[in-house]
Structure 1
């Protein structure tokens, strides 16, 4: 049996992965769903990417986890990449679920279209803590396009403001992902339009992993809400030896 650590994306918490974790646990695996620094209740929204990475690396160390299948969703791809660079001996495989794959010196905003950067800049400038929230129309049409309006509204109300510095901070890596010796997988939901299809997740970002396993399935960027059982099955397929 394997140990899975599921790392959420922007605006989420680890708790929102629990419906995905349940079918994986039912197969006998151990599953952790931590919340990254900056996304927990009461966390300052002024923290940067380095602190988020440190919180995940610290979670693995504090819980003495090893041989971990470490999954990152969306923004979580930035964090699992940095964590793999810091504590590679604790990780058996990296799994990116429609996630950003950074090389050394890149930030998340380097990998999104200009209109998203302009939107995030405008939203964060209107806050006192440099946080950013996703507007509901984008959430509904681009992130949860496989859901009913009611499903999208219920899920949106579970989100929280995200520290924008984690999008603008450049990551510092000793090795780019393609050079890392850790095994890698990429899960691609084929109806995910959170990024424009012309600047899509796969193969534009997945190919930065070098050698990797590809798992594809139907669904949106938020399959954790709309079909957690299907996502769980894909995660186990991506994480197997």
Structure 2
């Protein structure tokens, strides 16, 4: 059982003129293995800032609070150390990596996180199986990472990483954005396969309830003004779909 604990997390972003603009205003959240927490909120509320701050993006400056994973101070770790500790981020806008094939990228990542290279005789089968489950053509293994990929292909590649790396905690930043119905279903099925193991905790950031119809959360948190202002179960997501965020804005 792993536990990600976020306590009074305060984060600012550095503006071009050098000033710090506060974004997160004291976030408290605990995620355990096997749990799925949905973070829902309007644009500009700080949801993605939360994701990237946990992952270690240099654009964001931690001004207060703490983040620990199994008691280890995440904020003291470099980005690669956070990944090796068990954190995983599926990005809203996955970047292209010219000159690096998908197959090499995934094997290198797996080696770095596990501390040893996967055995070639089994790794090829694992990679092929993961691609088949996500309905990705085998030729993608030899293509450069995300180069020329459609939005859906990029997101499926993110979930393939998730399935192969098997992190302790996975943060999915608007994984549903840009997906058509078929791609949303395929991606959700991949997430649910990992959820079924009970070994990974999920922080699922989204605007809409459509992905939550495929990936049912255990907890829903309303995020407004850089903090969580309301918490509940799956029924809270349906309330947001029906009524919007307006009633929660005054709590920010």
Do the two structures share a fold, i.e. TM-score over 0.5?
Answer: no
Larger radius of gyration: 2
What is the TM-score when the length of structure 1 is the normalising length? Answer: 0.34
Between the two structures, name the one with larger relative contact order (CA 8 Å, sep ≥ 6).
2
What is the TM-score when the length of structure 2 is the normalising length? Answer: 0.33
